[in-house]
Amino acid sequence: MKPFLREKVPVNFEDVPDTTSFEAGYLVTKNAGWRNVRPVIDTAKCVGCLNCYLYCPDGVIFKKDGKVAIDYDFCKGCGICKKICKVQAIELEAEK
């Protein structure tokens, strides 16, 4: 199962478990705020080789319509995808 964002942030007494065990893959915060640059995919250039998907340390690049797309909620903007892309289909744009 892929970890995903939840609405409830269990930090109150009744929500905190009795033991140090909890549902797997429980996310309450995004990583988008870490980013200085945003990778943007030029789908016209993308050949769907999946190298960026394979080498992304955060796993935020996913397959879409034979090509790839990015989950910007969790991309940290490291730039590995741009470097690894053989057809220069990814550009980094400054985050405002």
Partner 1 sequence: MAVTAKTLNETEFFYGHKACAGCGGSLAVRIALKVLGENAIAVLPAGCMSAVGFNFPQLCFGNNAIISTFAGTASMLTGVQAGLKAQGITDFQAVGFAGDGGTADIGIQALSGAIDRNDDILYICYDNEAYMNTGIQKSSLTPFGAKTTTTPAGKNIHGNIRPKKNMFEIVAAHGIPYAATASVGYLNDFMKKVEKAKSIKGTKYIHILAPCPTGWGIKTDETVEIAKEVVDCGLWYLAEYENGNFTLNHKPNEFSDIEKYLKKQARFKHLTDGDIEIIRKSRDEKWEYINKNFK
Partner 2 sequence: MAKQFLSGDEAFAYGIRLARPHVISAYPITPQTIVVEKLSEFVEDGSLKSEFIHVESEHSALSCAIGASSVGARAFTATSSQGLLYMAECLPYAAGGRFPIVMMNANRSTALPWNIYGDQRDSLSQLDSGWIQAYAENAQEALDLALLGYYIAENKAVSTPFMANLDGFVLTHTYEVVDVPSQEQADEFLPLFETENKMSLEKPKNLAFSAGPDTNSIFKYKEHIGILNAKSVIAEAEGKFEAIFGRKYTGLTENYQTEDADYILITLGSISGLVREIVDKLRKNGEKVGLLKIRYMRPFPNEEIAQAVKNAKAVAVLEKDISFGNEGAVYTNVNSALQKAEINIPSSNYIGGLGGKNISPQEIEDIFAEIKSGISDIKFLGIGGV
**Residue 28 interacting entry, from partner 2, partner 1, none, C-beta within 5 to 8 Å by type:** partner 1
Q: How far is the CB of 15 from partner 2 (least distance, A)?
A: 9
88 forms part of the interface with partner 2 (CB under 8 A): no
16 forms part of the interface with partner 2 (CB under 8 A): yes
Tell me which residue of 74, 81, 79 sits closest to 31, measured CA to CA: 74
Tell me which residue of 44, 66, 41, 43 sits closest to 56, measured CA to CA: 41
91 forms part of the interface with partner 1 (CB under 8 A): no
78 forms part of the interface with partner 1 (CB under 8 A): yes
Q: Output the CA torsion sign for 21, 23, 25, 28.
A: negative
13 forms part of the interface with partner 2 (CB under 8 A): yes
Instruction: Kindly tell me which of 20 and 88 has the beta carbon lying closer to partner 2.
Output: 20
Q: 81: which residues sit within 8 A by CB, 6+ positions away?
A: 39, 52, 55, 56, 61, 70, 90
Q: Which stretches of the chain bind partner 2, using CB under 8 A?
A: 1, 11, 13, 16, 18-26
